[in-house]
Chain A
Amino acid sequence: EAQVTQNPRYLITVTGKKLTVTCSQNMNHEYMSWYRQDPGLGLRQIYYSMNVEVTDKGDVPEGYKVSRKEKRNFPLILESPSPNQTSLYFCASRYRVRNTEAFFGQGTRLTVV
């Protein structure tokens, strides 16, 4: 089954404790991205990757890092999480940036206390 898998689905952590949210897709997609969703602000892009070893900032990259060492994986790293990073996070992939259909993961609800 074609899918984008995020882990964990839920996470409560403390300020400053490094964490990684994993994202993996099994569709051989070139393009992957991360969004965060907050009430009243909608979905905003954090980082995106056009292909392996090619990443770039989205609209709200501060406090986040990403890597794309393999085509299927695109982890989101919070080196020193802060309470303002409490949010619902989605990973998405598509075959190429030009393609229309984006596949989203089920989301990771992160709470930083």
Chain B
Amino acid sequence: DAKTTQPPSMDCAEGRAANLPCNHSTISGNEYVYWYRQIHSQGPQYIIHGLKNNETNEMASLIITEDRKSSTLILPHATLRDTAVYYCIVRVASGNTGKLIFGQGTTLQVKP
């Protein structure tokens, strides 16, 4: 599975969009980009995933560059409850052990 690089921390004002970058320059053609978050030592929570196209769900949007070497998770209107560690993970969809490789993630602090 490809390695990811994320900034260790970011701040965002409440109500503003939070844009969390992830670099995955060694991603392979069959590897997906996943985002999870962990709020204060709770179990990680799935947010969104994508392969090539941009994706949106009720929680967030995922923007993947055309060369797929980087992506951005967008929380459109951040709230205090979005303060968490956000993990970007890349992995193949099948033929593996199912292990999720969590790096150090980005600690997002949403401020009033």
Query: How many angstroms from the CA of A58 to the CA of B97 in the assembled complex?
Result: 8
Given contacts A92-B100, A98-B93, A100-B93, 11 further A-B pairs with CB under 8 A are A43-B44, A43-B100, A48-B98, A48-B99, A88-B41, A92-B43, A100-B46, A100-B49, A102-B44, A103-B46, A107-B43
Q: Does chain B have a CB within 8 A of A105? A: yes
Q: Mark B91-105, 1 if CB is under 8 A from A, else 0.
A: 001101111101111
Interface set of A (CB-CB < 8 Å, partner B): 4, 31, 33, 37, 42-43, 45, 48, 50, 56, 58-59, 88, 90, 92, 94, 97-98, 100-107, 109
Q: Mark B69-110, 1 if CB is under 8 A from A, else 0.
A: 000000000000000000000000110111110111100000
Give chain B nearest CB distance to A113 CB in angstroms.
Answer: 20
Q: Could you tell me if B43 and A106 are in contact, using CB atoms closer than 8 angstroms?
A: yes
Interface contact B46-A105, CB-CB below 8 Å: no
Interchain CB contact (< 8 A) of A102 among B46, B93, B94, B104: B46
Interface of A is mostly: strand
Chain B min CB distance to A70 (Å): 19
Evaluate contact between A107 and B42: CB separation under 8 angstroms.
yes
Q: How far is the CB of A53 from chain B (nearest CB, A)?
A: 17
